[in-house]
Amino acid sequence: MNTKKTTLILSCFLLAAALFGGCAAKKPILSPAPVVFDGVGVDMKSAGYWISKINNPDNILLNKQQIEKLNNEYFKSNLLKDILTFKDSYYRKFFANAYKKTLNSYKKYYDSSLSQKGVKEFIDEIDENINYDILSKNGETLFALTVKSSPIRILPSSQVLYSSLETEGLDRIQATQINLGTPVAVMYATKDGNWFFVAAPETEGWIARDDIAFCSKEELRQYLNRQDKQEIAPAKTISSANAKSKNDKTKNPSAAIAAPQEQNVLIMTISPVTDIYEDKAKTRFLAQVNMGTELSAIKIEGGMIQIKMPYRDKNENLKIKDAFVDLSDISVGYLKYTQRNVLTQAFKQLNSPYGWGGQNEYQDCSSFLKNIFSCFGLKFPRNSSSQIRQSANLKNIKFNKETPLAKKAQTIRTNAIAAMSLLYLPGHIMLYIGFENDNLYVIHSIWGYGDKNNTNRTFIINRAVVTNTDLGGGSKKGSLLERITEMKVLSN
């Protein structure tokens, strides 16, 4: 890996200044955003409102093969990594130097629990815990599976750091949050052994030791080898060993008992959050996972689905146990890729809290979209700039600063497909849902926006909302529409 690429991986999450509403002026004034946004009626907060404006909303716009083709583009361009093809050894000549630069850049950051001197001391402690000699040598790759929803950190620490007092709440050390059951390649450990530097499918960074269970690459392959189908076959039955002949009226001749049938069926969590339990009665809670988490189902028992739950034994090795999720929270196989289904999934998350990089298991603009489209088998990279990356198989339209607003709006309205078009501005990405009275509407997870009176005031939204693209008009940065630079249509 060259210096430029290594630095890019480690610093891509430092682009907070580009986040819409996330870049503070010298002395910004923070205020709560209004409950009701201009031009957004009550009905517009319903998926059904936008579905009703679509002709044939149940048409399948991408089939399984087409979705796989799009996913392969991300893998071929290295925006996503296939951990099962990760090399068994690695050598990153410039990694140590690049990481030291990234680490030192955090000395200017902030937390209310630490003085500026305390921040520098904290960074020095991190620096001391990094084994730079190991970072510069050839090493053996280990493989593991996450046993919980896990934060990936840019620094090996749970300490939060913010870019300023005004942006407290946006933890700049947070890279992303990865799902339970995510494969990772483990490359480095801190000196104290509490953190591992890993490659996950969508990013690289540090993960806490307790969050993963080690296994072989073949064990990973077996766990991930799920059948993608639309139903779980019923358990086979065998006649009871005690059943009597058909002529015996004292015994039901059709009496049977369920025989175990080992299955590994792909199921997707489609609720905003899904609880996992140790028991069918839902009395012993195990974990909670976000929308778009892939799980392995064994069988259906009543209204519960029995799944394979990864956990770590006392030796930190991967083991599997039975667990249960409610049938209402999942889809057997990926959802069909229709406008109705995409809008339904998006609006399930309306008003869900904003979380920079998945902080506190919430979602920012890019993870909001990633979770939605995961339900359909579409694999998205972590960053908005990667998600909007031009595709040879999709319609991409770019805008420049000279593009008149009326022309830009008309181009989007003419070419976008509701629920299947992404609108991008530097640092932010949104899902287009339709238009009303010539206004373009989006659903997105957003932190805040500027005051229309061109002051230093920032209005904090901090959740997933429906707005039109005039939001932020008159502010120093301009409206969403003014700032949109690219559109991508996720349909052929």
Condensed to tens digits (0 to 9), the pLDDT of residues 134-172 reads 887 888 999 999 999 999 999 999 999 998 777 777 899
In a domain, 132, yes or no: yes
Q: Which CATH number covers residue 32?
A: 3.90.1720.10
Q: Are residues 347 and 465 in the same domain?
A: yes
> Average pLDDT, stretch 321-349?
97
Confidence tier at 343 by pLDDT (50, 70, 90): very high
For residue 492, what pLDDT is reported?
84
Among 115-119, 127-131, 272-276, where is mean pLDDT lowest?
A: 115-119
**What's the pLDDT band for 444 if we cut at 50, 70, 90?**
very high
What distance in Å separates the CA atoms of residue 447 and residue 432, rounded to the nearest whole number?
A: 18
What pLDDT score does 195 carry?
A: 98
CATH code of 321's domain: 2.30.30
Tally Cβ neighbours within 10 Å of residue 286: 17
Domain carrying residue 127:
83-218
Q: What is the mean pLDDT of residues 208-212?
A: 98
pLDDT for the residue numbered 27: 63
Mean pLDDT of 437-450: 95
Which of 79-83, 193-197, 240-244 shows the lowest mean pLDDT across its residues?
240-244
Residue 234 is predicted with a pLDDT of 61
* pLDDT tens track for 366-416: 999 999 999 999 999 999 999 999 898 899 999 998 899 999 999 999 999
Sorting pLDDT into bands at 50, 70 and 90, what band is 20? very low
Q: Give the pLDDT confidence score for residue 455 in this predicted structure.
A: 87
Do 300 and 313 belong to one domain?
yes
Domain-embedded: residue 231: no
**Domain for residue 242, yes or no?**
no
pLDDT at 245 over 90: no
Please check the confidence at residue 365 and state whether its pLDDT lies above 80. Answer: yes
Q: Is 158 found in the same domain as 19?
A: no
- Secondary structure string (H, E, C) spanning the chain: CCHHHHHHHHHHHHHHHHCCCCCCCCCCEEEECCCCCCCCCHHHHCHHHHHCCCCCCCCCCCCHHHHHHHHHHHHHCCCCCCHHHCCCEECCCCHHHHHHHHHHHHHHCEECCECHHHHHHHHHHHHHHCCHHHHCCCEECEEEEECCCEEEECCCCCCCCECCHHHCCCCCCEEEEECCCCEEEEEEECCCCCEEEEECCCCEEEEEHHHEEEECHHHHHHHHCCECCCCCCCCCEEECCCCCCCCCCCCCCCCEEECCCCCCEEEEECCCEEEEECCCCCCCEEEEEECCCEEEEEEEECCEEEEEEEEECCCCEEEEEEEEEEHHHEEECCCCCCHHHHHHHHHHCCCCEECHHHHHHCECHHHHHHHHHHCCCCCCCCCHHHHCCCCCCCEEEECCCCCCHHHHHHHHHHHCCCCCEEEEECCEEEEEEEEECCEEEEEEEEEEEECCCCCCEEEEEEEEEEEECCCCCCCCCCCHHHHCCEEEECCC
Number of structural domains (the chain) is 3
Out of 3-7, 56-60, 76-80, 417-421, least confident range: 3-7
Question: Average pLDDT in the 223-235 region?
Answer: 80
- Domain final residue, candidates 332, 358, 378: 332
Please check whether residues 198 and 311 belong to one and the same domain: no
Q: What is the pTM of this model?
A: 0.88
Verify that 184 and 323 share a domain, yes or no.
no
Residues 123 and 208 reside in one and the same domain: yes
Residues 345 and 482 in one domain: yes
pLDDT value for 6? 43
Shared domain check, 102 and 210: yes
Give the model confidence (pLDDT) of 21-80 as tens digits: 333 335 678 899 988 999 999 999 999 999 999 999 999 999 999 999 999 999 999 999
Higher pLDDT, 234 or 269: 269
Tell whether 182 and 286 lie within a shared domain.
Answer: no
Write the pLDDT tens digit of every residue in 162-201.
987 777 778 999 999 999 999 999 999 999 999 999 999 9
Residue 234 lies in a domain: no
Mean pLDDT of the chain: 88
Residue with more model confidence, 461 or 10? 461
Alpha-carbon gap, residue 441 to 220, rounded angstroms = 42
| pLDDT computed for residue 115 by the predictor | 80
